[in-house]
Amino acid sequence: MSPETLSTEQLRASAIEVLRLNDLGTMTTAAPNLYPHMWSWDAAFVAIGLARFDVPRAITELRTLLAAQWTTGMIPHIVFTDDDTGYFPGFERWGTAGAAALPAGIKSSGICQPPVHAIALLHILDRARENGGSDREAAESFLAESFDGWLAWHRWLATVRDPDRVGLVEIHHGWESGFDNSPRWDGPYSRVVPGAVEPFTRRDTQHVTDASERPDDEEYTKYLWLVQQMASVGFEDRAVQEVIGFRVRDVFFSGILAASSDVLAGLGEELGRHDEAAELRQLAVRFRDGVASTVDPGTGLARDYDVLAEEWISTDTVSGFAPLVAGGDRILLDRQRQLLRGPQWMGHPDLRFPLPPSTSPTSPAFRPRTYWRGPVWPFLNLLFGWASMRDGQEALSSELRSASLEQLSDLKFAEYYDPLTGRPLGSFAQAWTAAAALEWIG
């Protein structure tokens, strides 16, 4: 349907239908067939979308995720449902059953994803306060009930994953970044030499029309090897850092931690938790500064750092705009916004919609249909939109909004889109894409 004939109400109704389709009652699957479990950062975006029409259900989403928090404070990247047929690697293959920090009765992976959760919690509170009554009561009591859980999560990231206090979060798997096979990780993965990996059959390639839209088998073997390395030491934090063949300071993850820590600090102040709020403000400053320190003066983009190879990772990927998420220095942010709107990114003349692709079309690494190597990911645009509003940049937010709504008016709610043709790719009826549509509609 063309955007001219599609009404906002139709888009909203279809997006709600997608969230209902993925709803298992207390958790939402990331996608109906491809991802039949709950993913951590997907759940946060899903909660933002749910809060637009059902505040109690949005609260339940975050509550379910938080119930899977490890005793260390880590929030795992997948909470598994009992469906062990649809997705690989499942709970058994992860080998987390023996991990000392896994809570009883929970089936989860043993790694994490970016901490967007406090931002989602703020959205829930905002909607609940607009609605008033029982929504407001439920959201405020959830804030009081869950604050210590989120605090423990941020503390774990700031200590275990930033042992040298450089203001950058260290990740141990490309999956932790959420940008699985981005060119960002080509260098670090080229140095991962897999030992004997148990035989495996992938499921993801069975759910898409074209396997070239997904990571290849060689990449997958390395992904599984890293999981085996972690399992070999029972997913114990310190031991993992010793044995793992992938240690990278992820600048985008760090930008999200900075932004989220500020939000959580504000929520802590509301609760009268002033010491914790001050601690979180300091974390926000540390990670904001850490992110800013990575910016390449030549390209203007923020960079990741490969700890094992001791080198910066310079790629033209959207993660280079981490400072826009983190917030901070006005001159840096102005320059980044100019870059984002310029011909390498949103202003590239060949784009179907003026939205940032995951890799710049001017980069030799750009592949318009392959997952994190080029396609546009709608949930990311929502994050940039939120950060723009936070920083008083209504114009950028409204540019992202109108292009996003046009893109999503195909009603496919695809996982990712070809930036050149606008073609929907990966899974359709993807939950966080539907959530993004609902939040953009407002």
Binding residue for ligand 9YW, selected from 18, 19, 27, 30, defined by CB under 6 A: 30
Q: Known catalytic residue: 415?
A: yes
* Distance, CA of 440 to CA of 270 (rounded, Å): 27
Binding residue for ligand 9YW, selected from 41, 80, 150, 189, defined by CB under 6 A: 41
Q: Known catalytic residue: 180?
A: yes
User: Least distance (Å) from ligand 9YW to the CB of residue 415?
Assistant: 7
* Distance, CA of 410 to CA of 392 (rounded, Å): 30
Residue ranges in 147-206 that form contacts with ligand 9YW under rule CB under 6 A: 175, 178, 180
Q: Which is nearer to ligand 9YW, 35 or 91 (CB)?
A: 35
Residue closest to ligand 9YW when measured from CB atoms: 178
User: For the sheet containing 248-250, what is the strand order?
Assistant: 169-171, 248-250, 304-306, 311-313
Q: Which is nearer to ligand 9YW, 39 or 417 (CB)?
A: 39
Q: Which is nearer to ligand 9YW, 35 or 321 (CB)?
A: 35
Q: Which is nearer to ligand 9YW, 178 or 357 (CB)?
A: 178
* Distance, CA of 176 to CA of 168 (rounded, Å): 14
- Report if residue 35 touches ligand 9YW, rule: CB under 6 A: yes
Q: Which is nearer to ligand 9YW, 184 or 273 (CB)?
A: 184
User: Least distance (Å) from ligand 9YW to the CB of residue 30?
Assistant: 4
User: Least distance (Å) from ligand 9YW to the CB of residue 35?
Assistant: 5
User: Least distance (Å) from ligand 9YW to the CB of residue 180?
Assistant: 4
Active-site residue, from 84, 180, 269, 329 = 180
User: Least distance (Å) from ligand 9YW to the CB of residue 126?
Assistant: 24
Find the part of the chain contacting ligand 9YW (CB under 6 A) among 38-46, 65-73, 130-138, 359-367. 38-46
- Report if residue 39 touches ligand 9YW, rule: CB under 6 A: yes
Query: Contact positions toward ligand 9YW, by CB under 6 A?
Result: 30, 35, 39, 41-42, 175, 178, 180
User: Annotated catalytic sites, by residue?
Assistant: 180, 415
